Amino acid sequence: MDLFGVPLIGLNAENGKKLILTVILVFAALLLRRVATFAISFVLQRHHERAAFWSHQASSLSIAILLILSILSVWFDDPARLTTAAGLITAGLAFALQKVITSIAGYLVILRGRTFSVGDRITMGGVRGDVIALGFIQTTIMEMGEPPDVQSAEPAVWVRSRQFTGRIVTVTNDKIFDEPIYNYTRDFPFIWEEIRIPIGYKADRAKAEQILLAAASRHAATQARLGAEALARMHARYFVRSADVEPVVFIRLTDNWIELTLRFLADALSVRRLKDCISREILAELEANGIEIASSTFEIVGLPPVRIAPRPADHGPGRPPP
């Protein structure tokens, strides 16, 4: 093809047809993806979110592979040319798009290794939250706050609990090769939580322990039962040691007070609500039984008398006082 008498390399009628066919294939793939998305959403609707998510992932991956194969068959009909071009393209991509290729590999590992799925609560790349989307390159997380014990961790979070902050965070999939991924809900959707209560050495610690156990048993009984069932399934799949799912109280002696630590099993998605219910009941019962919570505050009960004398006035040199 010539432009003002100047021949343009690589532009001819055959390549023009291939270019038009490539554009048609791309539009056809986009249309097919829209149809597949609509069909999956219509069939599964909102009652099977995980099944809809994995169906979307499978359809997107299948359409992408089909599109790549179709474009390769259009442009490289000669196997020798295909081998040469594939080698050059692979070398260029490996150098220029290292992070992208690693992220795509991470996406495949996530799918194959069942690392996490949409709806799981995870910590990835320093971000804690619920997975709301998973793409070829990035994972989208609805960020949560941090407990007070880890408030100093990066990035800074102003919500001092395991509740949503409102920020949507995207993390590249290549993080699974560099950092551990913490999953709170995948195979065992429960976590062990603790509430620490300090009481004085003269307080009725047996009664205080009874109050803590009673409060935890009333509010965490169902979760302990479900946790035992989930733990049994974990035993069948992994080498996991037996663990006690019933509430228990541990005692630690300090220089100032006796520290009672209530340990109980909690659903990973409703930890704060459960701890709030247990804490309210513990406070009410301790107050009703006259058991005070120890603290390191000080009370000033008296001060020595203080005498304030007036300072003599300065009259200057040679001047007598009035």
Decide yes or no: CATH 3.30.70.100 for domain 190-288. yes
* Residue 117: CB atoms within 10 Å: 18
Per the prediction, the chain carries an average pLDDT of: 80
169 HSE (CA, 13 A, CB side): 23
Q: Which CATH class is domain 121-183?
A: mainly beta
For residue range 70-111, what is the model confidence (pLDDT) as tens digits?
777 776 666 555 566 566 666 666 666 778 888 888 988 888
The segment(s) of the chain belonging to CATH 3.30.70.100 are 190-288
DSSP per-residue letters across 11-53: -SHHHHHHHHHHHHHHHHHHHHHHHHHHHHHHHHTTT-HHHHH
Query: For 247-265, what is the mean pLDDT?
Result: 92
Amino acid making up residue 321: P
Max mean pLDDT range (3-12, 273-282, 307-316): 273-282
Residues of the chain with pLDDT > 90: what percent? 25
| Contact status, residue 120 vs residue 110, Cβ threshold 8 Å | no
pLDDT at 283: 94
Which residues make Cβ contacts (< 8 Å) with residue 59, sequence separation at least 6? 33, 36, 37, 40
For residue range 19-52, what is the model confidence (pLDDT) as tens digits?
788 888 888 888 888 888 777 777 776 566 667 7
Which residues make Cβ contacts (< 8 Å) with residue 83, sequence separation at least 6? none
Token pair listed for 188: 């065992």
- Residues 73/78/79/82 CA torsion (nearest 10 deg): -60
pLDDT at 140: 94
For residue range 114-159, what is the model confidence (pLDDT) as tens digits?
788 888 999 998 888 999 988 888 999 999 887 766 656 666 677 7
Long-range contacts of the stretch 142-148 (C-beta < 8 A, 24+): 142/167, 142/168, 142/169, 143/167, 143/168, 143/169
Amino acid making up residue 312: P
Taking the model in full, what pTM does it have?
0.63
The segment(s) of the chain belonging to CATH 2.30.30 are 121-183
